Amino acid sequence: MDFVKDLETNKKKLLELFSNNADIKHRDISLKTGVRCSFIFLEGAIEPESVRDVLKRLMDADKITKDVPMYLKLHVINTFGVDEIESTDQAIRGVLDGNGVLLIDGFDKALTIGCAQWTTRAIAEPPTSALLMGPREGFTEDIKTNITMIRRRLHTPAFVYEKHSIGRYSNTEVALCYIKGIADDNIVQKVSHRLKLIDIDGIIDSNYIAQFISEKPNSLFRTIGVAEKPDIIASKILEGRVAIIVNGSPMVLTVPFIFFEDIQESGDYYTKSTRATFLRFLRLLGILLGTQLPGIYVSLRVFHYMSMPIDYLITILNSSQGVPFSPMYEMLFVILLFEIIHEASLRMPRYVGMAMSIVGALVLGDTAVKAGLLSSPTVMFVSISAISLYMIPNQVGVFKLFRLMFTIAGGMGGFLGIILLEFVLLAYMASLDSYGAPYLAPYAPKVHQDLGDALIKTDIRLDTMRPFSFPNKNKRRIKLNEEGN
């Protein structure tokens, strides 16, 4: 609804829309010329000092011209971000964004004064992305802070920030970020189109957006990248990816996304390539141990016990005497027990939860072994599996599901069951893609140009081109001089 030239009418309309909100405040003042004004704001979003500063400036202003809104905007409150608005809808959005709205008698337009000062969390290192070397900044829940941290690393006007507002009630600000001239235009248009199609009452976290823009929303695997650090997002944008930042969430999304991104860590680029390669193979080993070790142990116990060394077989048989469960059910029971302890520790006070996750697992495991309910090798292998899974924290959920699947496959089909399940999962992964990027690239299909930054990490001086695994422009990243440096 558009404003009219009567102050009382405009103020009444706006305050009626906020009639049941005790934190909506207004201050009525008169300028030296006698023009009446009303300043409306959201208590808690603006510091009291800012309110007093704005009102003092307005009441002290003199030599005001006939175009009062323009004069105030240019000469009185010009140190704030000031915009002219013409409707109550714009005023509502301004107030809820934490800005002040100034209604002026005799004018059918108002001013939004950018003096929002929301309380936000300080910038800190993300708990799941700790590094020995490299930047330690992590995203916060404030979208403006997050965009600023990315801009500090990308000093170019080619860095584009497109603003979207999603959610009928939340009106959550969502930023689509990319570098013009590097990101593929079709990918940018596709992501932007899908954001515009989202019709939901509210967006609380970036994971809401991920489910709407994913090309495979029901996939077992994530097909949308996620990161908590600005250096990671900046590097992905430089490769030609598109970032989606959601106000209220420290998790930033990126597309396209391939599986081997989870095996790569930002610290790999701040250390020697040989060590980075070793760590990537170690993470891959962690995936294999975390998902398949319980299943391999069960298959050895049930089907392939003759292939084990005799001394080890005797040890296992001695430790398993009196256990009332079959090897497969025993393993599933221990996995379930560990998951219960893990979930309970997450929901307890921090220090109590840490103590419970460690002491609970040790005490319960030792007690169950001594009581003859479980065997010690089973507890040991589940412990190794649980630790290994967290080498790739972003995929822990799906890897836990695969651990159950491999345990059942090993208990019912032995090594053959495990191998068949491996082929099924690999075929399934090969069928996935993310915005034109094959999920298992650069190995399936084989992209020779990208093999230097997959499992094997080559020297950065040799990584002269942007990835060929997904569409992007301006392929050359590094131009070598005559000496090859």
208, part of any domain: yes
412, part of any domain: yes
* Lookup: tokens for 459: 């020297």
Are 275 and 344 within one domain? yes
Q: Per mean pLDDT, which range of 113-117, 253-257, 440-444 is the poorest?
A: 113-117
Are 251 and 277 within one domain? no
- Average pLDDT for 366-371: 72
CA distance 8 to 329: 74
DSSP states along 148-181: HHHHTT--STTEEEEEEEE-TTT-EEEEEEEETT
306, part of any domain: yes
127, part of any domain: no
Are 299 and 255 within one domain? no
Segment 115-130, tens digit of pLDDT: 777 777 888 888 777 7
Q: 3-state SS string over 383-422?
A: HHHHHHHCCCHHHHHHHHHHHHHHHHHHHHHHHHHHHHHH
34: confidence class by pLDDT, cuts 50, 70, 90: confident
Segment 130-146, tens digit of pLDDT: 777 778 888 998 898 99
Number of domains present in the structure of the chain: 3
Average pLDDT of the chain, as a whole number: 86
106: confidence class by pLDDT, cuts 50, 70, 90: confident
- Supply the pLDDT for residue 481: 64
Identity of the amino acid at 204: I
467, part of any domain: no
132, part of any domain: no
| Non-local CB neighbours of 70 within 8 Å, separated by 6+ positions | none
Segment 289-319, tens digit of pLDDT: 999 999 998 998 888 777 777 877 787 777 7
Are 352 and 239 within one domain? no
Tell me what percent of the residues of the chain surpass a pLDDT of 70.
95
- Supply the pLDDT for residue 427: 93
Among 221, 241, 269, the domain-final residue is 269
442, part of any domain: no
Q: Of 394 and 164, which is predicted with more confidence?
A: 164
Are 263 and 300 within one domain? no
Distance of CA 125 to the CA centre of its chain: 14
- Supply the pLDDT for residue 349: 72
Are 251 and 275 within one domain? no
Are 259 and 281 within one domain? no
Among 68, 96, 114, the domain-final residue is 114
477, part of any domain: no
Are 425 and 320 within one domain? yes
- Average pLDDT for 235-263: 93
- Average pLDDT for 457-467: 84
Res 485 pLDDT > 60: no
Dihedral over alpha carbons 273, 277, 280, 282 (to 10 degrees): -130
Res 420 pLDDT > 90: yes
Query: For residue 55, what are the domain limits?
Result: 7-114
Among 269, 300, 324, the domain-final residue is 269
Which of 149-158, 265-274, 364-373 has the largest mean confidence?
A: 149-158
Are 236 and 315 within one domain? no
Segment 343-353, tens digit of pLDDT: 877 777 766 66
- Supply the pLDDT for residue 318: 75
Cβ proximity of 422 and 405 under 8 Å: no
Res 419 pLDDT > 90: yes
Place of tokens 């319960």: 364
- Average pLDDT for 260-279: 88
Are 27 and 92 within one domain? yes
Are 100 and 185 within one domain? no
